[in-house]
Amino acid sequence: MASKVFAPAKINLALHVTGRRDDGYHLLDTLVSFAPVGDWLTISDAETLSLTVEGPEAAGVPTDMTNLAMKAAALLAGRRGARMVLDKRLPAASGIGGGSADAAAALRGMAAPALDADALLRAHADGILGLGADVPMCLASKPLRVRGIGEGLEPVALPDIPAVLVNPRRPVSTPAVFKAMTRRENTALPEVLPALPDADALIAFLRGTRNDLEAPARAVEPVISAVLDALSAQAGCGLSRMSGSGATCFGLFTSEDDARAASRAIAKANPAWWVASGVLGDQSGAAMPRLCESEEARAQ
């Protein structure tokens, strides 16, 4: 038997950098939601811990202990081995938590069925945060407000919203983006978020927020501006913004039909770009490990 775990993409709808600690870690106030697109991790019993990477975005992804999924599995493995096969569908170093989502999937798969995401965080909080600021939020895979260096997770009620995700296939270094920042002490999100009953309300609210990493990321990788322009030009796009430290950007829509049409148009005009569409929201149910036969687990 094997377990198969979905690793959904994380989208920073807003990302405010509010300061930096003495140890160099930046303080964030971010609003995140999750996409129905992502990687898949299959975990089978084995004597040792190993990772194989395949799929359309597998090129260049390490399979040793520099891979976050391997580090996450080792955190829970103890004396247990595991053979992991990662079907890599999200571009690497792209600001949508691909590696962190894979790590979270490894944690969920290795812990199941004994521990759920909340129990995992309680039992291994420091170790999980040590894997990276995005890993705790990716472990939850549901709309959150996240503060601090990634440890302050607060579930929030956000409406589902159609979106188009676009990555120009230019990996962006997160340290380089933070280094390019000219201001690190910025205002936080409102202490109390307003009621956001639908996609129109969410878009209107987000227009008054920011991604403080977007300007420095554009300086590091100017093609991000072209991606944002392509999204903004699509019919029905209410907001375009970069996610995380880039280079993936997203456009928000109120109509799934408009989002799908925009996705097709951008992909046709820019065949070298990675383009996906879907409804952002709570993916925690989809991210739960599912038991299946080893051979069947590999089939999509």
pLDDT band at 78 (very low <50, low <70, confident <90, very high): confident
Report pLDDT for 165. Answer: 98
* Number of neighbouring beta carbons within 10 Å of residue 264: 13
Please say whether the beta carbons of 243 and 11 come within 8 A.
yes
pLDDT band at 297 (very low <50, low <70, confident <90, very high): very low
Report pLDDT for 294. Answer: 54
Answer yes or no: is pLDDT of 95 > 70.
yes
Rg (CA), the chain: 18
Query: Mind listing the pLDDT tens digit for each residue in 18-70?
Result: 999 999 899 999 999 999 999 999 999 999 999 999 999 999 999 999 999 99
Could you give the 3-state DSSP secondary structure of residue 15? strand
Q: What is the pTM for the complete model shown? A: 0.94
Flag whether 260 is in a domain.
Answer: yes
Flag whether 143 is in a domain.
Answer: yes
Could you give the 3-state DSSP secondary structure of residue 50? strand
Q: Specify whether 41 is located in the same domain as 109.
A: yes
Report pLDDT for 252. Answer: 98
Flag whether 299 is in a domain.
Answer: no
Please say whether the beta carbons of 177 and 216 come within 8 A.
yes
Question: Any known ligand binding at 95?
Answer: yes
Flag whether 177 is in a domain.
Answer: yes
Report pLDDT for 296. Answer: 44
Would you name the residues annotated as active-site residues? 10, 134
Flag whether 300 is in a domain.
Answer: no
Q: Specify whether 8 is located in the same domain as 125.
A: yes
**Per the structure block, which two tokens stand in for 252?**
């928000």
Q: Specify whether 12 is located in the same domain as 111.
A: yes
User: Checking DSSP bridges between strand 81-87 and strand 49-54, what pairing results, if any?
Assistant: parallel
* Average pLDDT, rounded, for the chain: 94
Could you give the 3-state DSSP secondary structure of residue 18? strand
Question: Any known ligand binding at 94?
Answer: yes
Report pLDDT for 114. Answer: 77
Q: Specify whether 42 is located in the same domain as 174.
A: no
Question: Any known ligand binding at 100?
Answer: yes
CATH number of the domain that 70 lies in? 3.30.230.10
Give dist(CA 253, CA 263) in Å, integer.
Answer: 11
Q: Specify whether 180 is located in the same domain as 146.
A: no
CATH number of the domain that 166 lies in? 3.30.70.890
Report pLDDT for 300. Answer: 47
Question: Any known ligand binding at 97?
Answer: yes
Q: Specify whether 141 is located in the same domain as 165.
A: no
Q: Specify whether 148 is located in the same domain as 77.
A: yes
Q: Specify whether 13 is located in the same domain as 130.
A: yes
Q: What percent of the chain shows pLDDT beyond 90? A: 87
Q: Specify whether 79 is located in the same domain as 188.
A: no
Question: Any known ligand binding at 130?
Answer: no
Report pLDDT for 150. Answer: 93
Report pLDDT for 292. Answer: 77
Report pLDDT for 99. Answer: 95
Q: Per-residue pLDDT averaged across 184-202, rounded?
A: 97
Residue span of the structural domain in which 138 resides: 2-156+288-294
Please say whether the beta carbons of 217 and 172 come within 8 A.
yes
Q: Specify whether 152 is located in the same domain as 6.
A: yes
Flag whether 272 is in a domain.
Answer: yes
Question: Any known ligand binding at 96?
Answer: yes
Domain count, the chain: 2
Omega cis (within 30) before 190: no
Please say whether the beta carbons of 8 and 283 come within 8 A.
yes
Q: Specify whether 183 is located in the same domain as 144.
A: no
Answer yes or no: is pLDDT of 295 > 80.
no
Report pLDDT for 80. Answer: 79
Question: Any known ligand binding at 281?
Answer: no
Please say whether the beta carbons of 28 and 15 come within 8 A.
yes
